Structure 1
Amino acid sequence: MQLSEILTSSCTSCDVDVTSKKRILEKICQLAAQQVTEIDEDDLLTSLLDREKMGSTGIGNGIAIPHGRLPNASKAVAVLVTTEKAIDFDAIDNRDVDIFIALFVPEDSCQEHLDTLQNIAKLFSDKKIIKQVRKCNDDQSLYNLIQQAH
């Protein structure tokens, strides 16, 4: 599944003012809770924190792909957030992160989860896309960029 298929404009947020790993994850869950109505924000956050305990989802180049599996979820949901200032996220290259692409998938959609993560990583390996994402200064232009990227 492509990011453009599961990202909504309401789950896209540009230049968020947060200063810590926990705060960005909370912001992501706040946005996702609008789409995943059958699961509350705390459970969304728990799914991300549980995954982060296994190792940081900061993939390098200022990008992180936090993700979690959700029991009782009916569909995959993505959240895209950029931050005003890059924050420490324990990324593999030790660089601070300013682009967050979060993914929540139903617990029983293992292959879909892996395929979607792979597609997101591929999209964000394109330096041109990364540069354009960082240049966006409003939610709608960020959302439109992702829709046009596929």
Structure 2
Amino acid sequence: MKLQDILTLDCTICAAPGASKKRILEYLSRLAADKLDSHDTFQLLESLVKRERMGSTGIGNGIAIPHGRLNNATPTKPIAVVITTEQAINFDAIDHRPVDIFIALFVPEEQCQSHLSTLQSIAKIFREKQFCKQVRKCKSNQELFQLIQQAS
């Protein structure tokens, strides 16, 4: 599944305030919780934190892809949240650089295999330096959403 298939405008935020790794993870979780009847912000945050304990999802070049699993999820499809921050924050990324582009993914437990292909599609899109420059220049949620929808 591609990012464009699961991302919605209301889960796309441009230039969000971000002070810390914890606050960003909370914000990502809160946005996703608004889309789910079966999970609250705390449960989603817990799934992201659990994954971060295994190793940072900061993949380098100012990008992080935090992701977590959903038990008994309704709806039964993955949910993506994309946020850019006004200022980059320390996220323990593999290249030790701060992060300002966050692509969170919440996947139902039974869809772990499609989860891997979705992560690959996200990494492929954001591997392009020119695309990341365009993402960082976006001035509105709508502009960011449309840019991602047009990515190949």
TM-score category by the smaller chain?
A: over 0.9
- TM (norm. structure 2) is 0.97
Q: Distance in 2 between matches of 1:128 and 1:34?
A: 32
CA-based RMSD:
0.7
Which of 106, 109, 112 is 1:107 aligned to?
109
Q: Distance in 2 between matches of 1:71 and 1:35?
A: 15
Aligned residue number for residue 4 of structure 2: 4
Deviation at 1:134, TM superposition (A): 0.3
CA contact (8 A) 1:57 1:65 kept: yes
Secondary structure of the 1:81 match is: strand
Q: Match for 1:77 among 62, 76, 79? A: 79
Out of 33-42 and 138-147, give the one that drifted further. Answer: 33-42
1:37 aligns with 2:37: yes
**Normalising by structure 1, what TM-score?**
0.98
Question: Are positions 1:123 and 2:138 aligned together?
Answer: no
- Aligned counterpart, 1:138: 140
* Equivalent residues in 2 for 1:53-64, closer than 5 Å: 53-64=53-64
Aligned equivalents of 2:42, 2:139: Cα separation in 1: 29
Work out the number of aligned pairs and report it. 150
Cα contact 1:36–1:77 (8 A) shared by 2: no
3-state DSSP of counterpart to 2:11: strand
Q: Give the whole-Å Cα distance in 1 for the aligned partners of 2:55 and 2:122.
A: 18
- Richer in helix (by share): 2
Instruction: Check the 8 A contact 1:86/1:98 in 2, yes or no.
Output: yes
**Cα deviations across residues 32-51 of structure 1 (Å, max 9, x unaligned)?**
11212211110000000000
Q: Could you tell me whether the CA contact under 8 Å between 1:62 and 1:99 is conserved in 2?
A: yes
Equivalence for 2:26: 26
Match of 1:48 in 2: 48
SS of equivalent residue, structure 1 residue 51: helix
Cα distance between partner residues in 2 of 1:4 and 1:113: 14
SS in 2 for 1:130: helix
